Amino acid sequence: MKWKSFIGVVLTISVLAAYLVVSTGFADIKQQSLKCKELRITVCDSLINNFTQPAEIKADIKRILTSEGIKTVDEQMYRINTNEMIQLLNKRSVLKNTVVYTSIDGILHIDVYQRRPIMRLQRSNSTLYIDESGYIFPLPNAQTMDMPVITGAIPTKISNIFRGEIPENETFLQQAYRLALYLDGDDFWLAQVARLEVVNENNVRVIPIEGKHLIDIGSLENFQYKFKKLEAFYAKVCQADDSTYQRVDLRYGNQIVCTKRK
């Protein structure tokens, strides 16, 4: 009886193994013959990040794939190189992260996440953005978003089409990025600062959203201390929207020098 039971177990295992081999073979054949019937692009953070319209992102992705000769719809699924697509799309300015995968129903999925800009660099002949990770990129067709803007004689050597992490030798941009993070993390200042104008290499002027006064803060070094001084000034001397003063100067150590409006 033991031998019969043993033989029965062996036969059962053999039959299952044979079934698995045959079914796997059929599955491989089916997979190789399966074609992509749909390219489905999803902008995963479009509800919280509307910097670029989802329709524009989707159209741009399709243009990129076409220009690189990458086939999608009607292409055999096993020929689609998802890793190649990820590496290609992650180089695009507005895309922070891309996930590409296929499903057994013949759909090629591309899920994308956008960069979130926190400061705009407005130069005479170009517009660049700095995102929350310190990545700089151009984007000519971006939607208008409320964020601090730097204008004027911005001391930088980066090109108009630069994209990438801020170079270590770009001292001003490194400081501007830290300032952008500071403003982005403070609801009060984010609602106060409309624009920062680089007057010269030694002075940055803050143009507030409220109030008619101008604020000279000097260089961006120790900007946290300067903004704390300004906050104390607003709390003890005048409100942020007060029009008494024409200029508020924070460049002189512990002092605040104010010029009254005539």
pLDDT digits (tens, 9 = 90+) for 156-190: 999 988 988 999 999 999 999 999 999 999 999 99
> Is 38-114 a domain of CATH 3.30.70?
no
Residue 253, pLDDT > 60, answer: yes
Contact 234, 206 (CB under 8 A): no
pLDDT at residue 15 in the model: 45
Residue 218, pLDDT > 80, answer: yes
User: Euclidean distance between the first and final Cα of the chain, in Å?
Assistant: 113
Mean pLDDT of the chain: 83
pLDDT at residue 57 in the model: 86
Query: What is the amino acid identity at position 39?
Result: L
On whether the pTM is more than 0.85, the answer is no
Contact 127, 156 (CB under 8 A): no
CATH topology of domain 117-260: Rossmann fold (3.40.50)
pLDDT at residue 234 in the model: 86
Bigger pLDDT: 10 vs 121: 121
> How far is CA 157 from its chain centroid?
22
The CA angle 70-84-74, to the nearest 5 degrees, is: 35
pLDDT at residue 47 in the model: 61
pLDDT at residue 235 in the model: 86
CA distances from 107 to 28, 36, 61, 89, 152 (A): 17, 6, 16, 18, 49
Residue 29, pLDDT > 80, answer: no
121 vs 141: CA distance, rounded Å: 15
Torsion, Cα of 126, 129, 130, 132 (10° steps): 180
pLDDT digits (tens, 9 = 90+) for 60-76: 899 999 999 999 999 99
Domain ranges of the chain: 38-114, 117-260
pLDDT class of 201 with cuts at 50, 70, 90? confident
